[in-house]
Homo-oligomer: A and B are copies of this chain.
Amino acid sequence: MSHNTFGHLFRVTTWGESHGPAIGCVVDGCPPGLQLTPEFIQQFLDKRRPGTSRFVTQRQEEDKVRILSGVFEDDRTGGPVTTGTPISLMIENTDQRSKDYGEIRDSYRPGHADYAYDQKYGVRDYRGGGRSSARETATRVAAGAVARQVLGGGITLRGAVVQIGPHAIDRANWDWSIVEQNPFWCPDAAMVPKWEAFLDTTRKAGSSCGAIIEVVADGVPPGWGAPIYGKLDGDIAAAMMSINAVKGVEIGAGFASAALSGEDNADEMRRSGNGVAFLSNNNGGVLGGISTGQPVVARIAIKPTSSILTPRKTVNAQGEDVDIRTKGRHDPCVGIRAVPVAEAMLACVLADHLLRHRGQTGR
């Protein structure tokens, strides 16, 4: 992972600014012969799209993806398939409201990357956050759809929100079947109305809140990943931390494992059919950086949106103390729309490790 590229064999390069003509990505190293259509990719983009409920930004971005290369339809293949060459995906930016960017052009929004970009580059595209905008994550979701085709049907990849603000779900209530039935990707039916009330209050106050997301991959075979700096969980950590507003990543029991005893933490094993069954999954499906065959489980912490209506102290480019309010159509809780993004990043990391494992071992 470096620059604007991640992955080693399954490799994704993203480009584009929030208010430029388009955003996009190049997916390189994809195996040949996989079915891939814009419609397949679109369904994942639609999950991330703004404007789908009152709890997310009201911007209207169609986020229509185009496949510009790497997929070919021939009458001898059963539909458009990948050719093994780079897949270029592009999404045009349609809702770039013409407006006065004066305030964010000159003043650094606290909690945003504005100040850091200016310190680094001496210049930045301030329109809508430019390159640091979460809009970039749409391209990852598109890449993640390709990754899912690489992984195939044997791997189920899902995400849910497990905490919004201070309100954490009760894991005993976990029900995957309701996750797509509410606007929060919440797996705990009892928590839905509480989050609804909390988010309405937050939104009306012009404030924002954070969240914790959990993503799970079932069906990952044992053996993916590698010591020491090619660890599956090392790559997951980097991939998740690259998502906007993420401030923490944990695998399996994560930070809670610090308080466990050695007896409670070690996941015991018993034979099961032709393989083994683990009696718990504190390791989150990864030991020594290598998958164990258990579900791969990662959680990420997402900080509150920094774009709030409450005036905050800051400085401007001229070095003066000023106050700033961030107007505009922002998500009160960016964590919600980050679910498909985290799923996509996990899919990409797993696809990369599938190919890397196959390359080294031939299995």
A276 touches B115 (CB 8 A): yes
Known: A301-B257, A303-B260. A26 touches B29 (CB 8 A): no
A69 touches B20 (CB 8 A): yes
Query: Interface residue count for A (Cβ, 8 Å)?
Result: 156
User: Which residues of the partner chain B approach A361 to less than 8 Å between Cβ atoms?
Assistant: 31-32, 84, 120-122
B258 touches A302 (CB 8 A): yes
A311 CB to closest chain B CB (Å) equals: 10
A176 CB to closest chain B CB (Å) equals: 22
Stretch in A48-56, A185-193, A277-285 touching the partner: A277-285
A9 touches B356 (CB 8 A): yes
Stretch in A39-47, A57-65, A243-251 touching the partner: A243-251
Q: Which of A276-307 contact B (CB under 8 A)?
A: 276, 279, 282-284, 286-293, 301-307
A28 touches B1 (CB 8 A): no
Number of identical monomers bound together in the oligomeric complex: 4
* CB of A97 within 8 Å of the partner chain: no
Known: A3-B226, A4-B228, A234-B242. A312 touches B266 (CB 8 A): yes
B4 touches A255 (CB 8 A): no
Choose among B69, B210, B254 the residue that contacts A16 (Cβ–Cβ < 8 A).
B69
Report how far A74 CA is from B84 CA in the complex, Å: 40
* CB of A117 within 8 Å of the partner chain: yes
User: Which residues of the partner chain B approach A240 to less than 8 Å between Cβ atoms?
Assistant: 237
Report how far A253 CA is from B284 CA in the complex, Å: 23
A111 touches B303 (CB 8 A): no
Report how far A164 CA is from B81 CA in the complex, Å: 41
User: Which residues of the partner chain B approach A14 to less than 8 Å between Cβ atoms?
Assistant: 86, 228-229
